[in-house]
Amino acid sequence: MKSCLGLALVTALGLWTSGCATAAPPVPEISSPAPPPPMNLTVTRRLNPQVEALLVRLMDEGRGMVIDGQPVFGTTDKFLPGKIAVGMAALILETPADDPRRARYLAGFRDLAALTIDDPNTEWGAYYSLLALHRLYQAGLLDEAVDPATLARLRTQLDWRGFVREDDLTLINLPNNYYGVAYSVAQIRNLLGWEDDRAAEALLERTLAHYATYSDFGFADETDGQGRFDRYSVLLIGEIAQRFIDVGREPPEQVRRWLRQSAELVLLRAGPDGDGFEYGRSIGAYGETAMLEVLTAAAVLGILTPEEMDVAYALSSAITARHMDFWVDADTGSVNLWDHGRRTDAYRGKHRILGENLSLARQHSYTNALWNRLGYRDRVPTADLAGWRAGRPDATLTWFDRGENDRALLTVIDGQRLIGLPVVNGGPGQHMNTPYFPIPFSPGLVAGSADADFPQLITRVELQDGSVLQPLAFHRGIRMTRAGQTVQLDYGQDAMDRMGQTVPVRDDRMRAETRYRFAPGRIERSDVYTAATGTGPATLTLEFAGYQPVADLTEQADGWTITYASGPATRLQVTGLDVCRTAPLEAVHASPTGPFQSLIRCTSSRRDLGAPVHLGWSLSYADGEP
């Protein structure tokens, strides 16, 4: 397919930037919802005015600005000056030259640049600031927007060397997706004439080398081979591709291949609701814009088919409409990632409220500008996203890594319901947290809680010496099979993950064999836990925090049955544990999109481990049949 880069070569630095096994189903007849509004109309009529209102307040209120009770300044948002800069640059350039507001916005940029010059502004913040400066430079407005003394200090401060060791180009205590940030910073410094291109080329080479070393199947491991594959693993190549688009360069063929693989995984998730990635850290609103960014880069570089282009544009329009409908609170004029039962990662806490508004808006705006240049401006989406989802394979196993440990993602499509089962390792700081558990994540049905480690649909083992073990990190032998409408996934672990450490720790005293079975309207999991001789009795605990209230809980001959008062979950059946009870919800029991309404806790005390322990649960839901 021919690249669209020449058509859409937008010097996007001058925009408001920011191997599968499948089983094919019959395509059911469905009722298609109305298409989302055109992306450009949502951006220009709803998103831009929302951001402008915040920036006008910022110019007026300065360091005293408070949004929804949260002070904007005096926090630990080390990216905020850069996000302010890129937002203000967009505001300036979107305002006609003869509009009196432009002079005010230029003065506001100058004042805010001076106001924040001593604030932390590194990594993404440095990139955003450089992006803003380059946009203004291209427009011939840099001298009006930044006074000489401030610009001289920015030239020193906005440097990749603040988070990358210059001698060996290794990151300083950061995950590997920051190589792309470092490359972007070096690239714009070169475009501004602040350094030659040697650093940018070396950092690009290091980024691609990491891919080649730890990403056998084309997805970026955020760690050095420990197996953390999440939305960043899919997004990073989109960000790298965008840097080539920024400067009008055709990316290497290897980048195009990796981007195609990421685009395929995103397209597999495309649906009418505009939902984003279902597992891992930093999802919610950012899980949606990640899909937006990957598909937009793929569209510009011409690696989508015509049908996929229309699907990608329709999904982009749906995601941007969802941003304004769901994530932006009309009462506060701000995005809400934190309140009314929503929960996100601590590093994206409410102290970053202004920065999150600006960075999310940027992602929607720069991708919209690219779609406009591809000829989709104000076009009503024509792709039927409900029909597209119904036509996807009912089971797809996407490999991330195979070797000493296997890493993969099983995607199940049941009517309009998408289920994602990641079999990965959260790695340092995340292996114990629910968003990385090998459980069937599905919007409105099963979710994790950011930075939370309760045993969500995973039976935890507590030994007499106080050790807490869970089958989370050392997966082997992943295998997908099917019989009729039932899809089965099997894998084993010859050691469990001992909780309490930053990184996964193998504990050979317990091993596990796991089987998942997916049928229309039902998910089943069965485990066999086997202990080493002399391990002794243990306490077993499984919990399920669900979106629906519990209507009834009864003990049966083979276990416990929990019924729910409203859908989509209808029934949870648990076997192998002695007692199930409802338990009080705590603040930790919340998902990116809203609160859980019930908590079930099932336990066995002093369970004998002399023989293999058989455990299981089955979750039924109401929308299994299309």
Which sign does the torsion angle of CA 472, 478, 480, 486 carry? negative
What SS3 string covers 108-128? HHHHHHHHCCCCCCCCHHHHH
Residue 388's pLDDT is 97
Distance linking the first and last C-alpha atoms of the chain: 34
DSSP 36: P
| DSSP H helical ranges for 217-305 | 231-247, 253-268, 285-300
Residue in the structure block whose two tokens are 């059911």: 28
Query: Rounded CA gap, 276 and 310, in Å?
Result: 18
Residue in the structure block whose two tokens are 């408070």: 66
Task: Look up residue 259 and give its two tokens.
Answer: 């981007």
Residue 516 and residue 504 in contact, taking contact as beta carbons nearer than 8 Å: no
- By CB atoms closer than 10 A (0-12, 13-18, 19+), residue 556 is exposed
What SS3 string covers 308-334? HHHHHHHHHHHHHHHHHHHHEECCCCE
Q: What is the CATH number of domain 395-621?
A: 2.70.98
Query: Average pLDDT for consecutive 10-residue bins of the chain (626 residues)?
Result: 44 37 46 86 98 98 97 91 97 95 97 97 96 96 96 97 94 86 94 95 88 83 88 92 89 94 98 96 96 98 98 98 97 97 94 97 97 98 97 97 95 97 94 97 97 97 97 97 96 97 96 98 98 94 97 95 94 98 96 97 96 97 64
Angle, CA 280 vertex, CA 387 and CA 292 arms, to 5°: 45
- Strand-pairing partners, residue 575, are 616
Q: Based on C-alpha coordinates, what's the Rg of the chain?
A: 25
Q: Which helix (H) or strand (E) covers residue 399, if one does?
A: strand 395-401
Query: What ranges do the domains of the chain cover?
Result: 12-72+169-335+357-390, 395-621
pTM over 0.85: yes
pLDDT in tens, 585-616: 999 999 999 999 999 999 999 999 999 999 99
Residue 5's pLDDT is 47
Task: Look up residue 445 and give its two tokens.
Answer: 């049905």
Closest CA to 191 of 122, 116, 132: 132
DSSP helix/strand/coil, 189 = helix
Q: Which helix (H) or strand (E) covers residue 410, if one does?
A: strand 407-414
Angle, CA 435 vertex, CA 432 and CA 438 arms, to 5°: 80
Residue 600 and residue 549 in contact, taking contact as beta carbons nearer than 8 Å: no
pLDDT in tens, 237-247: 999 999 899 88
DSSP 174: -
Residue 31's pLDDT is 56
Residue in the structure block whose two tokens are 């850069």: 82
